[in-house]
Amino acid sequence: MIGIDITSIDRIKRMYEKFGIKAYEKFLNPKEIELIKKPETAAGFWAAKEAASKALGTGIGASCSFHDIKISKSELGAPLIKYRKKVRKAFGIKNSHLSITHDSGFAIAVVVNVLK
């Protein structure tokens, strides 16, 4: 199961400028918000969650919401991704891998889910 997404950094930046922290709360939990130091990171997290939902074949919706996907960082700063238990169980996910990059005004993320 693989998913990919591309997100405009400027779109996420404008959303934050217009709505403040509420914009981030729409798709991030408090621990994820703490990791955001610049718009590129926020856009990367948005792309990661969209890619994760696409890897399930559902997109963001009833089967998997933004808040069913959690992003953190390893000790070396690499992005990590995890679904809530109910999602892992429903889709038979053993583990997941995430890569995020940004360049030229866009953030791109790829998620690969390994099934049981």
So which residues are the catalytic ones?
54, 102
Is 5 within any annotated ligand binding site?
Answer: yes
Give yes or no for a contact between 98 and 72, defined as CB atoms under 8 angstroms apart: no
Output DSSP code: residue 53: H
Burial class (CB in 10 A: 0-12, 13-18, 19+), 69: buried
The answer to whether residues 8 and 43 touch, using CB atoms and an 8 Å cutoff, is yes
For residue 32, how far is the Cα from the chain centroid? Answer: 10
Which residues define the annotated binding site for Mg(2+)?
5, 50
